[in-house]
Amino acid sequence: MTEQSSAFEQSIRAAVAQGQAELTRLDSLADAAAVNIAESGRYEPDQSDSSSLLDEFLRGFMRDLRRHLDHERGALESFNIVFFGRTGAGKSTLMSAFGGLDGGYVSPGASDWTTGVHHVQWHDCRLLDTPGINGWGRTESREKLEATARRAVETADIVLLCFDSQNQQAMEFAKIASWIRNYGKPAVAVLNVRNSRWRHPALVPDDRRQHLSDSVRQHADNVKTELAQIGLGSTPLVAIQSRRALFARATTPFRGPGPESFQHERDEFGIEYLARWSNFRTLENLLTTAIQLGASDIRLSTLREDVRERCRVASLALSTMAGEFVSDVHRLEDGIESILAVIGYPTASERENYLKREEAGSDLLATLENLQGRAFTSPGKGSLDRFVRHQASSRLAAQRRHSNTQAQLKISEAFDTKQAIDEAAFRAAVFNEQAIDATIKDAWAARGEFLIRELQVTAEQDFEKDLSSLFNTASFVGTDGQHTAGDILRGAGIAVGLAGVAAPFAVANFWNPAGWAVGLVAVGVGIAGQAQQYFGKKMKDDAQKKANEARAQAIAGATDAVEKTYDAYEEAIVASSRAASWGSLAPIVTESLRKSIALRNAQQRALHLAEQLTEQADSITATHAVEDILTRAQSVIAESSTELRTLLLGEDWLQSDHRHDAPRGLDESVVTMYHDRAVKARSALTTAMTKAWTRPSPDEIRLWSEELDDATLHDSGLLEVAKEMRQVSRRKPAFTVLGDYNSGKTSLIRRILVEAGDLTGQDGLEVLARPATATEQRYDFPRLQLIDTPGLQSGNTCHDDRALNSITESSLTFVVVHVNLLIGNTAVIEEIANGSSMVAAKADRLIFLINRSDELGADPLVEPHAFLNLQDRKKEELIAALAAKSITIEEASIHCVAADPFGLVGNSASVTDDDFDANRVWDGTDSLIDAIKDLSDSSLAAGTLIAGFDTALTLLKRRRNLLRTELDAYTKTIQQRDSAIATLAAAEADAAVLQKSLSENAERLVSAAVLNAATELYQVAVGDNAGLDRVANSWTEDPRLRSAIDRYAASAEKDLLSWQEEHASMIEREFRGTGSLNDETAATDFSSNRASGTVDGIIGGAGNVAEHAAKAAKILGNRDAVYAIGKQFGHKFKPWGAVKGGARVAKVGVVLGAVAAAADAKSMLDDSKKSETHRKNLDAATQVIEARADQLVVQITAGDNGSGLTGFLDEARKEVQRLIERTTAEKVELVALRDATAFKYGMANRLVSSALQLEAGYQDEET
């Protein structure tokens, strides 16, 4: 044993021992994490979706962590080096070279050959070969193969990142970043150079070597650049020729692919030559040096960083999950807030009845508010209560007036006829029970419509499903006939008789201790007593006065009873509405509260655990950076960076003086075999190309073209399609070359052009290992054009898009693939072959070229039969791979070529066709070129006709897709307009209800004052005309009237502002971002405080005595003062400006001016108008009071010239109507545009369908 090998073994043993000790510490960390997780979930009140999701994640994390540690424990006995990379990159070949195997593990050329994990011993290390990534799933799915590879990587101490000179794809580096970098795995990149002539000085003359090395350097630079972008820029890269290394180190008998080449190489060049020029020793030396320098640090780093990264990833995932919980809970809580804004913040009894958690008895709302750290801001009275109150008030107003009139008439009739009236007769005369019941039903139905509208607009998506099912229930909207007035009143605790639902109430203590029955005694039985007492005998002088007092008392009592009855109706309707709403919506609110509470608990738990996992990750001991170990190892094997680069990239062969041996010629039989294959391939290709243009036939295309021309008469947008079809049909046929970057597309075109003449004047044909073609390049060839396209999978999506567009006008497409066939992302090829909603299918017009056939694994000069067999197997594999992607290709449409055999020509500017003579017999290029030349003029003409057809079909599909998008947009916008119109109509309807309600309330408060005055009039002694005059002149000074006006004004302001805020918010949501002419500025103007001046005027005038009203009106009439008030409340006076606002405030004084006029009048009754009798004087006084009352109602509601409350609402309703008209006009225009677009879409769709019928086997992607 050498000293070096002894040190290597000692380093391995130390790493194993320290790894076992470290694993024990990591087990303890996992135990602590498990305890923290268990503790955090101990007090979880219930299981919810969020907690289940969190628990599932935590279980998965702990399960994976335990399994990983167990997996590591099983792998600790050795130092593990894992081979990781794309399928076909040479991993199995490299591992067989390390292990000195017989080649039996090596793929015979098939993709996805390795499906399990194989390991061999190398010194005291274990090497593990893994399934390749990014394959097409030849025998097992890509997902399963990659999962197997990942599990092996998790136990790696060092990862060998295996690339080859085919190309490097973005998907490779994405997995490297996810699996290697994130878990702190030290890595060495290995570039397997597939070109069998690289570092083969015996076969490559001096002047050809630099080009081959330049290509390798470009590949290496590309790999290094990509690794740097994912944080692995310091990763060393070694270029090797894996196959040559295996030939040098394999045991015999050799059982791998290419046994003839194996024996030939050993016999011809010797094992030492093969070992040296494979550059394998450089890789081996780098690994052994690194392990010897720091095996323990590498082992500890991999163990610690893996667990550290798992904890950090889990912590980040928990934080992300917590954020998602917050987003979800915000949506739920916004929905809860929206519902509460409609039905009102729950009272204590409502919480008790609807929001109690049965298990624990806790208040769900309070629990959530505690978790939020704030209370919901919804008002106690929601928009539904306000709406229902206005509905009830306005709809019952007519019946209220009727009942009051009838009550007074019945009282007067009883006194005048001196006859008593019983309770039943009085009730029947006063209350129209049938009309009242119908009115309440109408109000209830309106309430249902309002509730649905409000919830549909305000509730978040989380409630849509629940609400939609709830909206369909008859009990919710009041259409089941059960919500009669009697039900509503009973629900409010008001008993009613069977005779009718609107009867006066007999429940004690509802509005007064005696109830309605006592009122009836006073009004009914009392009437009889009064009549007997005062009309049954001769009156004394004061009898009339007492009779008048009794009459006034009876009228007042009856009116009070009627008012209280209707007030009770309104209260009962509102209360019943609220109860019904809570009864219907409580399950949704309760469930939402439960989910919100669970989400907030889960969020807090997730954040807590995330913090703990971060702390545990930080507690893991740091180790020396493994990058430093690899850097030190590189400095040991090379003294300078230049020497290191030369060594790693194998560029020392450029200075080798090894002689160049001219290759021996092929046997005549082999030449004949290759020639026969070439002739057969030429014939097959010609047939395949010609067949590509037989469907649809020229006659079918011409008929379809006529159909297209006819369609242009109805849709001018199709003119461009028809024009493009004709232009493409008249051009030279375009043969497009498509494929991954570095698949050899440009080399193929160079070769074709060289064989056709020379490259003079041809630009853009530089051959590079990195993506070089950024845009399509066109080259003339006899009778046609060749189009080089940007390479696919270059990492630049623009290249893929440009390549796809380049196919549109092609008559034929050559799809160039590597010997590994379909690797990585094949979406573009699939779309071109199968078609899509945007692209015409071209599977029948595809020729697949397997390029660089010299890299198949059998040397065509040494193993011709094996070489041809491999070609056949590759064709079969490609057919299977394409079939797996639903692409059907016949073998005749597949051809193997080597456009630049062994890469010996490359970018040489002086290349001629003579440079290819040595390999022409087998490289397959002549067969392709000759097949193109064999195409007849008629076939090429059919090709251009087909290209025009394909172009038109693609353009039609794109146009159809655009029209479909526009049609959907129009439909959506029309729906938005419909919704906006409905919202505006609802606003207008609610304004009408509010307006009526405000008028009724004003009439009611004035009527109460009139009733008080009438009572006083009836109490005036007979002949006391001065008393009558005093009552008629002073009734407006009653403090009760002025207090009522104050309350009315304050309530009216709230009602107006509530109406504005509710509907302005809804209108703004409807128009926001819709592109309507009535954009959100309409809602802003709508929501500006136009009622501010009016309402403030009512408050500042009508609620005070005449002198104060005049003073306030004068102050508020000042423009600056009004403007200041507007700013204070944040209102815009647009379009009603501050000047007009000031005028309105000032004119409001007229309301109290009427009061002041009544108060200041010295005499309201002229002597000439007074009757000789007291009765006539009494009637005259009553008439004057009623006339003044009518004027006062008008002043309170309408103001002067429409400046009052109803005037504001009139203007607001007019503005809403204008918005409705404008929105309706927009909708009409949109409908016309939609219909026109639908017509164009239908026409394009019919053309696409008829085109696809000509191509049997292709289906329309939109059907």
The DSSP secondary structure of 1147-1213, one letter per residue, reads HTHHHHHHHHHHHH-S-SS-GGG--SSHHHHHHHHHHHHHHHHHHHHHHHHT-GGG-SHHHHHHHHH
C-alpha distances (whole Å) from 486 to each of 400, 500, 504, 573, 655 are 17, 8, 12, 10, 109
* Dihedral over Cα of 703, 705, 710, 714: its sign: positive
Q: What is the pLDDT of residue 116?
A: 66
Dihedrals phi, psi of 128, to nearest 5 degrees:
-120, 120
Domain count, the chain: 4
The pTM assigned to this predicted structure is 0.72
Is there a contact between 1045 and 1103 (Cβ–Cβ < 8 Å)?
yes
C-alpha distances (whole Å) from 961 to each of 837, 1134, 1230, 1262 are 7, 45, 19, 9
Please tell me the distance from the alpha carbon of residue 136 to that of residue 880, in angstroms, as a whole number: 10
Q: How many CB atoms lie within 10 A of CB 1125?
A: 21
Taking Cα atoms as reference points, which of 306, 322, 85, 56 lies closest to residue 184? Answer: 306
Q: What is the pLDDT of residue 113?
A: 59
Please tell me the distance from the alpha carbon of residue 702 to that of residue 697, in angstroms, as a whole number: 9
On whether both 229 and 149 belong to a single domain, the answer is: yes
**Is 739 domain-assigned?**
yes
Pairing mode, strands 784-788 and 777-781: antiparallel
On whether both 648 and 771 belong to a single domain, the answer is: no
* Dihedral over Cα of 372, 375, 379, 382: its sign: positive
Tokens representing residue 108 in the block: 């015979």
Please tell me the distance from the alpha carbon of residue 375 to that of residue 369, in angstroms, as a whole number: 5
On whether both 455 and 551 belong to a single domain, the answer is: yes
Please tell me the distance from the alpha carbon of residue 54 to that of residue 38, in angstroms, as a whole number: 12
**Is 63 domain-assigned?**
no
Please tell me the distance from the alpha carbon of residue 448 to that of residue 1203, in angstroms, as a whole number: 33
Please tell me the distance from the alpha carbon of residue 886 to that of residue 872, in angstroms, as a whole number: 21
Pairing mode, strands 125-129 and 118-122: antiparallel
Is there a contact between 1232 and 973 (Cβ–Cβ < 8 Å)?
no
Q: What is the pLDDT of residue 474?
A: 40
Q: How many CB atoms lie within 10 A of CB 658?
A: 16
On whether both 345 and 219 belong to a single domain, the answer is: no
Q: How many CB atoms lie within 10 A of CB 53?
A: 15
Tokens representing residue 799 in the block: 């290249």
Is there a contact between 105 and 132 (Cβ–Cβ < 8 Å)?
no
Please tell me the distance from the alpha carbon of residue 903 to that of residue 916, in angstroms, as a whole number: 11
Residue that terminates a domain, selected from 586, 617, 648: 617
Taking Cα atoms as reference points, which of 548, 560, 568 lies closest to residue 523? Answer: 560
- How many residues are present in the chain? 1263
Please tell me the distance from the alpha carbon of residue 258 to that of residue 104, in angstroms, as a whole number: 11
**Is 940 domain-assigned?**
no
* Dihedral over Cα of 625, 630, 631, 636: its sign: positive
**Is 261 domain-assigned?**
yes
Tokens representing residue 1259 in the block: 């289906």
- Beta strands per DSSP E along 740-857: 777-781, 784-788, 812-817, 846-850
On whether both 251 and 366 belong to a single domain, the answer is: no
Q: What is the pLDDT of residue 1259?
A: 55
Residue type, 1132: K
Is there a contact between 1103 and 1040 (Cβ–Cβ < 8 Å)?
no
Residue 676 DSSP label: H
Q: Which residue has the tokens 């960076």?
A: 641
**Residue environment code for 1071-1098, b if the CB has 16+ CB neighbours within 10 A, otherwise e:** beebebebebebbebbbbbbbbbbbbbb
On whether both 241 and 353 belong to a single domain, the answer is: no
pLDDT in tens, 572-590: 999 999 999 998 888 989 9
Q: Bridge-partner residues for 80, per DSSP?
A: 126
Please tell me the distance from the alpha carbon of residue 427 to that of residue 406, in angstroms, as a whole number: 10
Dihedrals phi, psi of 958, to nearest 5 degrees:
-65, -40
Please tell me the distance from the alpha carbon of residue 690 to that of residue 1049, in angstroms, as a whole number: 91
Residue that terminates a domain, selected from 604, 632, 658: 658
On whether both 926 and 1073 belong to a single domain, the answer is: no
**Is 350 domain-assigned?**
yes
**What is the distance, to the nearest Å, from the Cα of residue 515 to the centroid of all Cα atoms in its chain?**
60
Q: How many CB atoms lie within 10 A of CB 910?
A: 7
**Is 153 domain-assigned?**
yes
Q: What is the pLDDT of residue 1129?
A: 29
Q: What DSSP element (H or E) covers 696? A: none
On whether both 929 and 1017 belong to a single domain, the answer is: no
For the chain, the distance separating the N- and C-terminal CA atoms, rounded to the nearest angstrom, is 75
On whether both 1071 and 1184 belong to a single domain, the answer is: yes
The DSSP secondary structure of 1129-1143, one letter per residue, reads TT----SS-HHHHHH
Q: Bridge-partner residues for 846, per DSSP?
A: 813
Q: What DSSP element (H or E) covers 1009? A: helix 937-1019
Q: Bridge-partner residues for 130, per DSSP?
A: none
Is there a contact between 1035 and 1050 (Cβ–Cβ < 8 Å)?
no
Please tell me the distance from the alpha carbon of residue 992 to that of residue 983, in angstroms, as a whole number: 14
Q: How many CB atoms lie within 10 A of CB 40?
A: 17
CA dihedral 759, 763, 768, 772 (to 10 degrees): -150
Q: What is the pLDDT of residue 141?
A: 63
**Is 312 domain-assigned?**
no
The DSSP secondary structure of 246-267, one letter per residue, reads HHHH--SS--SS-HHHHHHHHH
Q: What is the pLDDT of residue 165?
A: 86
**3 state SS of 86:** strand
pLDDT in tens, 897-920: 999 999 988 888 788 899 999 999
On whether both 139 and 226 belong to a single domain, the answer is: yes
Residue that terminates a domain, selected from 658, 675, 707: 658
pLDDT in tens, 1096-1152: 333 233 333 233 333 323 333 333 332 332 232 233 322 223 333 333 333 333 333
**Is 748 domain-assigned?**
yes
Please tell me the distance from the alpha carbon of residue 754 to that of residue 1214, in angstroms, as a whole number: 81
C-alpha distances (whole Å) from 1077 to each of 192, 427, 1064, 1136, 1223 are 65, 56, 16, 21, 8
Taking Cα atoms as reference points, which of 805, 755, 752, 795 lies closest to residue 775? Answer: 805
Is there a contact between 1141 and 1097 (Cβ–Cβ < 8 Å)?
no
On whether both 215 and 87 belong to a single domain, the answer is: yes
Task: Indicate which CATH number applies to the domain containing 257.
Answer: 3.40.50.300
| Residues of the domain holding 1018 | 961-1088+1168-1262
pLDDT in tens, 235-285: 999 999 999 999 999 999 999 888 888 999 999 999 999 999 999 999 999
Please tell me the distance from the alpha carbon of residue 757 to that of residue 748, in angstroms, as a whole number: 14
Output the CA angle 69-72-76, nearest 5 degrees.
140
Taking Cα atoms as reference points, which of 231, 248, 232 lies closest to residue 283? Answer: 248
Mean pLDDT by 10 residues, the chain (1263 residues): 72 88 90 89 63 87 90 83 84 90 80 69 86 58 70 84 79 73 83 93 89 92 88 92 95 90 92 95 94 89 87 93 91 89 91 76 85 88 89 87 87 81 83 88 87 68 49 44 45 31 27 31 36 39 66 81 87 91 90 90 92 93 82 92 93 84 82 96 96 93 95 94 96 94 90 83 75 87 93 86 93 94 88 93 95 91 92 92 92 95 87 91 96 95 96 96 95 90 88 87 86 81 82 84 85 84 76 60 48 33 31 32 30 30 33 34 38 72 84 83 79 90 93 96 95 73 56
On whether both 923 and 1030 belong to a single domain, the answer is: no
C-alpha distances (whole Å) from 136 to each of 132, 615, 743, 914, 1144 are 10, 42, 17, 39, 80
Tokens representing residue 1161 in the block: 């009048």
**What is the distance, to the nearest Å, from the Cα of residue 1255 to the centroid of all Cα atoms in its chain?**
38
